[in-house]
Chains A and B, each alone.
Chain A
Amino acid sequence: MAKLGPAGYSPYPVSVTEGVLTPPPGKALMFNEIVDEEVAMREAAKAMLTRENPTIFPGPQVLYAWNEEAKRKAKFVRKMAEVLGAKIIPMYDYRPKYPKIDPEKEINPNHPNLTIWHNKIKACIFIGVHCHYANVALKIIRAETDCFTIAMCSMAGHEDAMITLRDQHSEDLEKFIRIAEEVKRELGK
């Protein structure tokens, strides 16, 4: 593994330069290791429960009620925030905002670091953000902040997040909430 970067991960802007790729189906990626999904979920929950100002960034795929799965996921995101004691700051679309965003209320993929700096967020979960914008935002966050990033992706995952959970659908979110509750109890919170 390369030298530690700002968030204790890597100083390189793109993790594929170090050969880090998305995990195979059924597995998760934790830093540069392929691990079982449950292991990654526990670590993700621990990061969110122990770091300052944990925040969930829901993207359009869960913010808008465009199908039944999105409606179910929205409920779980809400529940997840309650369990993790996390704030919710939406990434509702990908338009650049002129003259600037309100970092207390929103996050934009083109400069996600502003929201993270402003709110001093040390751990976050990306969920429901379309892959191409999640990729951009996660790279910027990785390079510019010391925030621990967790990507809960319904597709192949994001190697630039510190923990990547792939193929995450509503039943997986339910499982994550259950694990988060366990970790919370273990931590005595």
Chain B
Amino acid sequence: MSVKIFKINEDLKEFMPQEIVDLEEKATWGNPKRGVMDLPYSKELIEEHSLCAGCPESAAFRYILASLPNPEDTVIVNSTGCTSLVFPHIALHTVHPLFGNQNSVASGIKRVLEWRFPDKVKDVVVIAGDGATIDIGLDCTLQSFFRQEKITTICFDNEVYANTGGQDSGATPKGMEFKMAPGGKQWDKVPMWQLAIDSGCHYVARLSVSSPKKVEQVVKKAIYVAREVGPTYIHLYTPCILEIGLNADQGLWEMRQRDKERFKFFEYMTDEAKEVIKRKKEEGLL
């Protein structure tokens, strides 16, 4: 896609709302060095969000959208869940496929884009919740890894089906109780990051979104590696403060607690991924 698509015709500019003019003038298009440090100064690619006040997913969204190295040529594939209410608001191409088949759809999009625009870099990023990635869509997720599709998969893990009232998911830790799962989860949390490694991902990271700069780094690494080598996976902890009974201002506190235990920062990369990351660092892009 050309950046021209965001350039407003001068003859009609005065009729455009300010936020759309800002999107042309103050958003960080065409700059691979863009990042979370631009957030206070630039126009964000998300206008508003419809998530709960203080939801860590909204922070994750902001950091990821600020970190995409090539937003004008990025297609995001999302899935059903709280996040699917937000995607229509962002100023990028997004596709909402059926619940769980997001990685299959992303695979198709990536292949077609490579065929249609062989001389352009087009990134395809899947952003889906733990239900879509680990439970309902596990087959499609893993199959895309097996097939070595050049896509980045980001899982927003809130450890529960929050949008439907609190049923336990594959990502819920053993013993955790929710409103619709009063007996507590009977089995262990699915170690999706490990499954991603075993299934052939070249870059895998597990973290919470308590550190914006760290989120930026892993998103950029994952996208650069996916472009050149193969599938990459990021597992982000984005707790549902509503379902675990916290206030709107306690999301960050919750994530910091989990940073020390089950969401302790973990990063894995293959030798090929290491080479790409080293090169990108030398180019000043990481």
| A residues whose Cβ falls under 8 Å from a Cβ of B | 58, 62-67, 70-71, 74-75, 77-78, 88-90, 92-93, 95-99, 102, 105-106
Interface of chain B: mostly helix, strand, loop or mixed? mixed
**How far is A52 from B19 in the complex, measured between Cα atoms in Å?**
29
* Chain A residue at smallest Cβ distance from B21: A92
27 contacts between A and B (CB under 8 A): A62-B9, A63-B8, A63-B9, A63-B12, A64-B6, A65-B4, A66-B2, A66-B5, A70-B9, A74-B11, A74-B12, A75-B11, A77-B11, A77-B12, A78-B11, A88-B15, A90-B20, A92-B16, A92-B20, A95-B91, A96-B88, A96-B89, A97-B48, A97-B89, A102-B17, A105-B15, A106-B17
User: In the complex, how many angstroms separate the beta carbon of B49 from the nearest chain A beta carbon?
Assistant: 7
Closest 7 CB pairs of A and B: A74-B9, A74-B11, A78-B11, A65-B7, A88-B15, A98-B48, A65-B9
- Interfacial residues of chain B within 1-39, with CB under 8 A of chain A in the complex: 2, 4-12, 15-17, 20
Interface flag for B247 (CB, 8 Å): no
User: In the complex, how many angstroms separate the beta carbon of B25 from the nearest chain A beta carbon?
Assistant: 13
* Chain B residue at smallest Cβ distance from A110: B88
- Please, how many residues of chain B have a CB less than 8 angstroms from a CB on the other chain? 22
A97 partner residues in chain B, CB cutoff 8 A: 47-48, 89
User: In the complex, how many angstroms separate the beta carbon of A17 from the nearest chain B beta carbon?
Assistant: 29
Contact B11 A98 (CB under 8 A): no
With A102-B17, A106-B17 as contacts: A95 and B9 at CB distance below 8 Å = no
B12 partner residues in chain A, CB cutoff 8 A: 58, 62-63, 74, 77-78, 88, 90
A75 partner residues in chain B, CB cutoff 8 A: 11
Contact B49 A98 (CB under 8 A): yes
B48 partner residues in chain A, CB cutoff 8 A: 97-99
A58 partner residues in chain B, CB cutoff 8 A: 12, 15
A99 partner residues in chain B, CB cutoff 8 A: 48
**How far is A70 from B90 in the complex, measured between Cα atoms in Å?**
24
**How far is A89 from B6 in the complex, measured between Cα atoms in Å?**
18
User: In the complex, how many angstroms separate the beta carbon of B46 from the nearest chain A beta carbon?
Assistant: 10
